[in-house]
Amino acid sequence: GHTSGIKMMQLNDDFEQLVSLSMDRVLKVWDLRNNECVQTITQFKRSEMKPTALLVDPKKHKMISFGTRQQVFKINPQILYKTIENTHRAPVVAVLYNRIFGNVVTIAEDSECSIW
């Protein structure tokens, strides 16, 4: 998961993915079918491009990060098959339910993100 608190999350229904942005400005793409992180973005062209917000464009399969300047990334459609069945080590501080896929996303106090 992330190593700092989650700032923002957005669903990408086309790929059955969740995109998350942490307080330390790391973007992650999570596959909701297999409960796996399929993409992590920590490298940005310049420091002012580190994101403070994000937007998912499912029609173009891209995510746009916004800092002082915007940057566009292609969303990785990779599907992984390993399933993780761990519980949180710290108290849960946020929960998101997706009616379409029947998944629950939980985020713990230690920034761990799990999809059930």
pLDDT in tens, 3-15: 888 888 888 877 7
pLDDT band, very low/low/confident/very high, at 77 (cuts 50, 70, 90): low
User: How far apart, in whole angstroms, are the C-alpha atoms of residue 116 and residue 113?
Assistant: 10
* pLDDT reported for residue 78: 55
Whether the predicted model's global pTM rises above the 0.75 cut:
no
- Greater confidence (7 vs 92) lies with 7
- In terms of Cβ atoms closer than 10 Å to its own Cβ (0-12, 13-18, 19+), residue 62 is middle
Mean pLDDT of the chain: 78
Measured CA distances, 55 to 74, 76, 104 (Å): 12, 15, 21
| The pLDDT of residue 87 | 61
